[in-house]
Structure 1
Amino acid sequence: MTAKPSRRGSSLATRLFLSATAWVVVILAITGIALSSVYRGASERAFDRRLNLYLRTIIAEVATPDSSQEAFQSIGEPLFDLPLSGWYWQVVRTDGEKPETRASRSLWDRKLPRLEDQGIELGPSGVRHGYVDGPEGQTLRMVERPVDLGLDGKFIVTVAGDATEIFEETRTFDYYLAGTFLALSIGLVLTTIFQVRFGLAPLKRISESIADVRSGRAERLEGQFPVEIATLARETNALIEANREIVERARTHVGNLAHAIKTPLSVLVNEASARPGDPLAAKVMEQAELMRSQVTHHLERARIAARLTVIGTITEVEPVIEALRRTMEKIHRDRAIQVRAEVAAGLKFRGERQDLEEMVGNLVDNACKWAAGRVFIAVTGEKSDEPGGPPKLRIVVDDDGIGLSAEQRALVARRGKRLDESKPGSGLGLAIVVDLAALYGGELKLDNAPIGGLRAELWLPAA
């Protein structure tokens, strides 16, 4: 039986596409996260430069003797004067008994938290950077620097700005980045589909070519293939040719064996025929004929088994059935046997013509021998009982003879078994049909025919 591909398995093209798509998604996701992080860092550094500018200005005012509150307020940023604007500065003197605080008007007598209290260490430039919660619940980006003016005192100078600017810029960048990567992903997926589809096209062509060889539409793989695939095509063609050579040698050996065995048997039969009254000669003739039938039968099986290994043999059914119908009517015309045939159009047998002729010919000849006057042949194409299995041929041969009982039907398929010695033949006809059908993966069933006699139902592989 031919092994069927697993339905759970996926094609190479599908696996390559899914693998490539997964890698594209992972790489783009990692790249997107990295770019977003880099851009956020760049936005924070730009924001910190702005805060550091204000910080240096305020420190310069702190270091100036007799600096007034008005001097502190005039640092060039109106947002420091707007109440609760999100932009604040604060100067706290820490060397006195009671801390002295100066702050921007925007704080409205509120105080900023200290980064030092949150455990943030000083950076290389002597400044702390971090995020804190502002007076109105805003998230603030803050810089803080301790200043030691010696006898003039020690101070903590702080400048904070609304971090919403950083978050909005980063969010806008992320939106544009996501849109760009989405378009890039679609482009890469389409490119991957194109590469997989056209990159694996030669393999698909080879698969189709092998199917053509197997079905008999071609004898070898034809066409131009890429360098990477051409070797596979050449080796496949070489395998097909080697298979044909092996089968031809097997046929030759079978023929030689047939001649080698039949010649001594013929000598025995001839010598026994020259002594018609001798009981020993009669026994020799009987056994010699039996040996000849057995040899013929087994050589036929060997010939068919060798021929079945040939790839790509297909036979049109209708011409074979019509030729058999005409031949059987001529052979049995003295009994006026009418042979009628109905064959569905386009049916093909997956095998050689002479094998189909031998199987159907034996059935029709047997039906004509036992028919009262009518023999009917019907050939149809049937689907496989197994899902996805190959199609089958159903060949039915009915006669209007006396028919057979169930016990007799079980006996007649045995090799050399004859129920009526008055009829011509060796008794091997149905046995040969059973064996040949089995070699092709088919079977023979016997039953009662609707027209009164025996029905022989032969199942064979269809193409």
Structure 2
Amino acid sequence: MAIRSLTARVLAVSTVWAVVALVVIGVVISALYRQGSERGFKDLLRAQLFNVVNSISVNEKTVLAGSPQLGDLRFSQPQTGWYWIVDPIGEFDTPPLISTSLGNAKLPIASVDEVPFDTGYVRFYTTKDPFGNEVEVAETEVVLDIQGHTARFRVAGNRDVLEADINRFTRNLTIALSIFGLGGLGMNALTILFGLRPLDQVRRSLEKIRAGESERLDGAFPREIQPLANEVNALIDSNRRIVERARMQVGNLAHSLKTPIAVLLNEARVLEASHGELVRTQVDAMQMQVQSYLSRARIAAQRESVLARTEAQPALERLVRVMRKLNPEKEVHLSINPPGLVLAMELQDVEETVGNLLENAARHAKGEVWLNVRPATNEQHAKETGRQWIVLDVDDDGAGLDPDQIALALKRGKRLDESKPGTGLGLSIVSEIVREYQGTLTLSRRDEGGLRAELVLPAAV
């Protein structure tokens, strides 16, 4: 799953890189230390080997003689893994000389074919002593006198000492790198969080704009973010000017049409009853249609504005109070769950849509009308990924409508009950306003009887 948080993404990448880098550094330093330690260990054995060579000679009885003093007590303590051995080679018949640490035991010799001598005629190989110690052996062969008496010289050192030193260094290195790594990761996290704080400030400013608490991105931003803030502010200003210009044009058009319509209504009053009623009816229909198209133009101009928002509870409570006063014989119920829902619509459009539905429900209800408001689930309305919606159900206990009647009711100017006042434009206007906000209007028969009008409208987040 992709990491959607920029902070988490930067922290994750930097943490992984830091851990990998520290592990690689630890491995490289440990490998270099091992190489240096093994080289130093072999240099020590080489020095002790030549010390033994310098201490041994052949006496007048053609016998190996000498007592090497290596300055290390481990060569005199038994089974320590530290030994020196001088063996005669060829026809040189004399007892070998062996350090007291090895006693009468034998130390295996590697084949020259497997481990040849180097240019200094010294070779190194690893073997096991009779006591189970893993030892590193330094070996050379030296001619001791002019008669050609030759001896093999060997000095062995216990590799446990070398491995213990390497392990101790690796452990200390691991502790040091771990402490440094944790400190570095903490400092890195603080640096990233501090560096990304301006983006959090931008986010909070945008939330204030969306909540209606501010109209611009306010604050002192770094020079990398300031151009973005300037562009957003410019976009908001441009959007506000467009909305204001559209509102002004709609208002001018409405004002210019008001006088001609009023003149037509006045003239209709002096006409004969039959002709006057016809003119008045047509002028009323024309006025409603003009108002409908003006509303659509206004909504289209402001639909994408982040400043369009209406708190559901106060607006709907006001509509319900009006309906109760106009219909004292009917009970109008309101339920908003949870409280605090906010619609991404202008207050005028909310009152127009919900008011029309409440008016229709009260007109046809026997005694009760219900308005229930709740958040929509993804299954109910998933037109746009990531957008939230609010459902408003307007129910009544009237006679309800059949499917054919529901389809007819949504058509412009169609009235199912000619005995009740109205132009038949209410539901079609509601449908058009809802459609402009990309919502839906659905009519259905309630299981308990009566009609349900379900509105799905955008929520402000």
Name the TM tier (shorter chain). Answer: 0.7 to 0.9
The 5 A counterparts of 1:257-296 are 293-296=288-291
Q: Which residue of 2 is the match for residue 32 of structure 1?
A: 26
Amino acid aligned to 2:135: L
Q: Is 1:201 equivalent to 2:193 in the alignment?
A: no
In structure 2, relative to structure 1, the CA distance for the partners of 1:152 and 1:30 (3 Å cut) is farther
Q: Is 1:18 equivalent to 2:12 in the alignment?
A: yes
Tell me how far apart the structure 1 counterparts of residues 71 and 195 of structure 2 sit (CA, whole Å): 65
Q: Which residue of 2 is the match for residue 382 of structure 1?
A: 375
Q: Deviations over 1:258-279 (max 9, x none)?
A: 5677788888889999986999
Instruction: Please state how far the C-alpha of 1:156 moved relative to its aligned partner.
Output: 3.6
Tell me how far apart the structure 2 counterparts of residues 151 and 292 of structure 1 sit (CA, whole Å): 135
In structure 2, relative to structure 1, the CA distance for the partners of 1:157 and 1:439 (3 Å cut) is same
Q: Is 1:185 equivalent to 2:181 in the alignment?
A: yes
Amino acid aligned to 2:228: L
Q: Which residue of 2 is the match for residue 436 of structure 1?
A: 433
Residue 357 of structure 1: which of 324, 337, 351 is its match? 351
Residue 298 of structure 2: which of 303, 306, 310 is its match? 303
Moved more, 182-191 or 82-91: 82-91
Instruction: Please state how far the C-alpha of 1:32 moved relative to its aligned partner.
Output: 1.2
Instruction: Please state how far the C-alpha of 1:285 moved relative to its aligned partner.
Output: 8.7
Q: Deviations over 1:226-273 (max 9, x none)?
A: 332222222222221122222233334444555677788888889999
Q: Deviations over 1:163-202 (max 9, x none)?
A: 1110111111111222222222222222222223332222
Task: Kindly indicate whether the alpha-carbon contact (under 8 Å) linking 2:317 and 2:334 is maintained by their aligned counterparts in 1.
Answer: no
Residue 334 of structure 2: which of 313, 325, 342 is its match? 342
Q: Is 1:236 equivalent to 2:232 in the alignment?
A: yes
Amino acid aligned to 2:225: I
Moved more, 79-88 or 230-239: 79-88
Amino acid aligned to 1:300: S
Residue 418 of structure 2: which of 408, 418, 421 is its match? 421
Amino acid aligned to 1:131: T
Is the partner of 1:160 in helix, strand or coil?
strand
Structure with more of its chain in helix, by fraction: 1
Count of matched residue pairs = 450
Moved more, 45-54 or 422-431: 45-54
Instruction: Please state how far the C-alpha of 1:289 moved relative to its aligned partner.
Output: 6.5
Q: How big is the alpha-carbon RMSD for the aligned residues of Structure 1 and Structure 2?
A: 3.8
The 5 A counterparts of 1:148-227 are 148=143, 151-153=146-148, 154-227=150-223
Scaled by the length of structure 2, the TM-score of the pair is 0.82
Task: Kindly indicate whether the alpha-carbon contact (under 8 Å) linking 1:87 and 1:160 is maintained by their aligned counterparts in 2.
Answer: yes
In structure 2, relative to structure 1, the CA distance for the partners of 1:452 and 1:42 (3 Å cut) is closer
In structure 2, relative to structure 1, the CA distance for the partners of 1:99 and 1:142 (3 Å cut) is farther
The 5 A counterparts of 1:82-121 are 82-94=77-89, 96-97=90-91, 102-105=96-99, 106=102, 108=104, 110-114=106-110, 116-121=112-117
Q: Which residue of 2 is the match for residue 409 of structure 1?
A: 406
Residue 318 of structure 2: which of 316, 323, 340 is its match? 323
Instruction: Please state how far the C-alpha of 1:59 moved relative to its aligned partner.
Output: 1.6
Identity %: 37
Structure 2: gaps (5+ residues):
none
In structure 2, relative to structure 1, the CA distance for the partners of 1:136 and 1:246 (3 Å cut) is same
Tell me how far apart the structure 1 counterparts of residues 158 and 116 of structure 2 sit (CA, whole Å): 19
Q: Deviations over 1:384-404 (max 9, x none)?
A: 335996664443444455443
Q: Which residue of 2 is the match for residue 251 of structure 1?
A: 247
Structure 1: gaps (5+ residues):
1-6
Scaled by the length of structure 1, the TM-score of the pair is 0.81
Task: Kindly indicate whether the alpha-carbon contact (under 8 Å) linking 1:140 and 1:160 is maintained by their aligned counterparts in 2.
Answer: yes
